[in-house]
Amino acid sequence: MNVQNTVELSKSTKAASDWWRGGVIYQIYPRSFQDSNGDGIGDLKGITQRLDYIASLGVDAIWISPFFKSPMKDFGYDVSDYRDVDPMFGSLEDFREMLDQAHAKGLKVMIDLVLSHTSDQHPWFGESRASRDDPKSDWYVWADPKPDGTPPNNWLSIFGGSAWQWDPRRLQYYLHNFLTSQPDLNFHCPDVQDALLDVARFWLELGVDGFRLDTINFYFHDKLLRDNPALPIEERNASIAPAVNPYNHQDHLYSKSQPENIAFLERLRALTDEYEGRACLGEVGDAQRGLEIMGAYTSGDKRMHMCYAFEFLEKRALTAGYAKQVFDQLQSKAGDAWPCWAFSNHDVQRHASRWDLDDAAIRLHAVLMMCLRGSACFYQGEELGLHEADVPFEKLQDPYGIEFWPEFKGRDGCRTPMVWAAQDEQSGFSTGDPWLPVSAAQSEQAVDRLETDGQSMLHHYRRAITLRHAHPALATGAQSEMQQIGPVLMFQRENTSEAVCCAFNLGAEAMQVDLPEGNWRAIGQDLGGVEGEGSVTLRPSQFCLLVRDKG
């Protein structure tokens, strides 16, 4: 049986209910993926046009960032209507067509639900701020000022400044963990929970295969509105917010990650389980307790299917020592957690630039991702080896970058349009003026150029994904304790039929490592893997993969 047939058999025999476990997800940022009508903004029809390309990667699912109706102050993460598509992206009928065609090509579709907050243009907020006697008066987090008129506590917004905004209609402050135009919903109100579960049911009935849940640990706040304690300087971690942001000065004990959240997540999971083969992926934003929260939120079979924290999305390079530290912590805090790993997404600098990786290192990291226990998420353009685009200040759109420029340039550099055809207008993204400039440097790595080169980064990613599907131990098997041998990270994956030994040199120096004894054979040579027996010397960015059959 050839590799492709092995992949298809693996996919076809995998239980419909657990496609997500060890699955490979491709994240689409719709504004920047493909414009179908020449207005410079990507849309749902554009995604539909590119489904053959996505399917050719071998991924199991796509995750689409928000496309709901929105004033776009935070580019769709400020929702004004959860049950409709913003006209800039198309229509509900366009979504149904995209969904049907994706399913026909064997792709699952996950959508991005933003439940912790809405836009201030959402009708719910309009009613809530109208009067303290309105039926929805407690649907958002309102609080009286202190006697001196200042905010009720010291909570800070991730986007800078206080997390409280004064509202002259109610003569109260409302909570916003993000922009002032993104008021936080009050999850302590049962009606709010019910309304949001109805939103989830709407999309499940439409046929989506799951949800990526934005800021999943921000749903509940401390009812007593207690002040967050300060963090000592040596404990400040810039993984959630840039180092220039005072948000890092607090331990956010009370403004997020509250124990009441567990019960709501169980309600959401119970709803999801009414529909076969659906899955929930939660984003855990916490610089101090991310892995611990991931474990709590994915523990057992009544909460989220999987979560991701920010350990591999931060500036700190992925060394052998750091990878071992993360997995050791995960095992000690949450041994049965099911993680979903990502190196890049729409909120952080692309990892090729963030970690200053050359071509060989990018290739190694792609294979490493496919070997780690957990599910995997790639961000559009990652498969091309794209580095961060340089967006000048006058072209910036991201309010986060505008606020903290130039020390922090925001998120626009990872959100520039996808490059499809090097010689075409706007690299094939649009026939109009794009909402962010197309990067000339990225255009050199456009899809059409890489397709013609069998050794390109694009084909490398395809082979890496094929490797994972061809070896079930890599997708769903257990993982041994990681070993750090100088710059080399070494571990094994194992299920009832096979064991895979993985060794990756993540450093700048060659290292000889001893390989396990037994009847092993090398795999992954088409990805650049080296063969070895007894021991092997791995140069920087080299790896060795061995497999042995069991039983």
How do residues 78-90 score in pLDDT, each as one tens digit?
999 999 999 999 9
Q: How many CB atoms lie within 10 A of CB 481?
A: 10
- Say yes or no to pLDDT of 8 above 50: no
- Say yes or no to pLDDT of 521 above 80: yes
Lowest-confidence segment of 137-146, 357-366, 528-537 by average pLDDT: 528-537
Q: By the 8 A CB rule, do 470 and 7 touch?
A: yes
Q: Which of 148, 205, 274, 407 is catalytic?
A: 274
Torsion of Cα atoms, 198 then 203 then 208 then 214, to 10°: -70
- Say yes or no to pLDDT of 478 above 80: yes
410: which 2 tokens? 């925001």
Task: State percent of the chain over pLDDT 70.
Answer: 97
Q: Reply yes or no on whether 274 is catalytic.
A: yes
- Say yes or no to pLDDT of 174 above 70: yes
Q: Where are the beta strands (DSSP E) in 206-289?
A: 210-213, 279-283
Distance CA 313, CA 345 (A): 8
Q: Reply yes or no on whether 388 is catalytic.
A: no
Tell me whether strands 511-514 and 279-283 are parallel, antiparallel or unpaired. unpaired
- Say yes or no to pLDDT of 102 above 70: yes
Report the pLDDT value the prediction gives residue 3, as an integer from 0 to 100.
Answer: 38
How do residues 322-358 score in pLDDT, each as one tens digit?
999 999 999 998 888 999 999 999 999 999 999 999 9
Distance CA 10, CA 23 (A): 11
| Averaged pLDDT of the chain | 95
Higher pLDDT, 26 or 10: 26
The residues, ordered by sequence, that sit 6+ positions from 90 with a Cβ below 8 Å of its Cβ are 43, 44, 45, 67
**418: closest CA among 391, 398, 389?**
389
Report the pLDDT value the prediction gives residue 422, as an integer from 0 to 100.
Answer: 97
Model confidence band, residue 7 (pLDDT cutoffs 50, 70, 90): very low
Q: Is the peptide bond before 406 cis (omega within 30 degrees of 0)?
A: yes
Mean of the pLDDT values across residues 411-427?
97
Report the pLDDT value the prediction gives residue 314, as an integer from 0 to 100.
Answer: 92
Model confidence band, residue 244 (pLDDT cutoffs 50, 70, 90): confident
- The angle at the Cα of 330, spanning 372 to 336, to the nearest 5 degrees, equals 85
**Which DSSP helix (H) or strand (E) runs through 28?**
strand 24-28
- Say yes or no to pLDDT of 39 above 70: yes
Give me the DSSP letters along 78-96. Answer: S-SEEEEE-TTT--HHHHH
- Say yes or no to pLDDT of 10 above 60: no
Domains and CATH numbers, the chain: 3-118+189-221+257-393+446-469 (3.20.20.80), 479-549 (2.60.40.1180)
Q: By the 8 A CB rule, do 543 and 501 touch?
A: no
153: which 2 tokens? 């506590």
Lowest-confidence segment of 137-141, 229-233, 275-279, 435-439 by average pLDDT: 229-233
Q: What are the Cα distances from residue 501, in Å, to 70, 411, 461, 495?
A: 48, 37, 20, 12
Q: Which of 60, 78, 209, 214 is catalytic?
A: 214
Report the pLDDT value the prediction gives residue 532, as an integer from 0 to 100.
Answer: 86
Distance CA 379, CA 366 (A): 12
Report the pLDDT value the prediction gives residue 533, as an integer from 0 to 100.
Answer: 87
Mean of the pLDDT values across residues 223-246?
87
Distance CA 75, CA 346 (A): 11
**287: closest CA among 261, 258, 256?**
256
Report the pLDDT value the prediction gives residue 334, as an integer from 0 to 100.
Answer: 85
Model confidence band, residue 238 (pLDDT cutoffs 50, 70, 90): low
Model confidence band, residue 15 (pLDDT cutoffs 50, 70, 90): low
Q: What are the Cα distances from residue 229, in Å, to 114, 141, 155, 201, 261?
A: 27, 21, 10, 38, 21
- The angle at the Cα of 343, spanning 341 to 347, to the nearest 5 degrees, equals 105
Mean of the pLDDT values across residues 243-251?
91
Report the pLDDT value the prediction gives residue 5, as an integer from 0 to 100.
Answer: 41
Report the pLDDT value the prediction gives residue 270, as an integer from 0 to 100.
Answer: 98
Q: By the 8 A CB rule, do 369 and 332 touch?
A: no
- Say yes or no to pLDDT of 14 above 70: no
Q: Where are the beta strands (DSSP E) in 223-316?
A: 279-283, 306-308
Distance CA 332, CA 346 (A): 30
What end-to-end distance do the CA atoms of the chain give, in Å?
A: 20
Mean of the pLDDT values across residues 405-433?
96
Report the pLDDT value the prediction gives residue 9, as an integer from 0 to 100.
Answer: 40
Report the pLDDT value the prediction gives residue 242, as an integer from 0 to 100.
Answer: 79
Report the pLDDT value the prediction gives residue 229, as an integer from 0 to 100.
Answer: 97
Model confidence band, residue 4 (pLDDT cutoffs 50, 70, 90): very low
Higher pLDDT, 335 or 511: 511
Reported pTM = 0.95
Report the pLDDT value the prediction gives residue 239, as an integer from 0 to 100.
Answer: 65
How do residues 280-325 score in pLDDT, each as one tens digit?
999 999 988 999 999 999 999 999 999 999 999 999 999 999 999 9
Give the SS3 label for residue 531: coil
397: which 2 tokens? 């759109």
